[in-house]
Homo-oligomer: A and B are copies of this chain.
Amino acid sequence: MWHNGGMSLHYALIGMLADEPMSGYDLTRRFAESLANVWPAQHSQIYPELARLVGAGLIEQAGEGPRGRKTYRATTAGVEALTQWMRGTKPDYDVRCEAGLRGFFLWTLPPDEAVAHLKQDIEVYRGHLAELEDKVETADWTASAGARSGRLTLEMGLRYYRMLIEWAEWASAEIAAGALEADGPEPGTAPVTGKRVRKKVAVRS
A→B interface (CB under 8 Å): 8, 11-12, 15, 18-19, 26, 35-40, 65, 79, 82-83, 86-87, 91-109, 113, 117, 121, 124, 128, 136-143, 145-146, 148-153, 155-156, 159-160, 163-164, 166-167, 170-171, 174-175, 179-182, 184, 193-201, 204-205
Q: List 30 A-B contacts (CB under 8 A).
A: A11-B105, A15-B108, A37-B95, A38-B95, A38-B96, A38-B100, A38-B103, A39-B100, A39-B101, A65-B205, A86-B102, A86-B105, A86-B109, A87-B113, A91-B102, A93-B98, A93-B128, A94-B98, A95-B97, A107-B146, A137-B197, A138-B197, A139-B197, A139-B201, A141-B197, A142-B196, A145-B180, A149-B180, A156-B164, A156-B171
- Chain B residues within an 8 Å CB radius of A150: 104
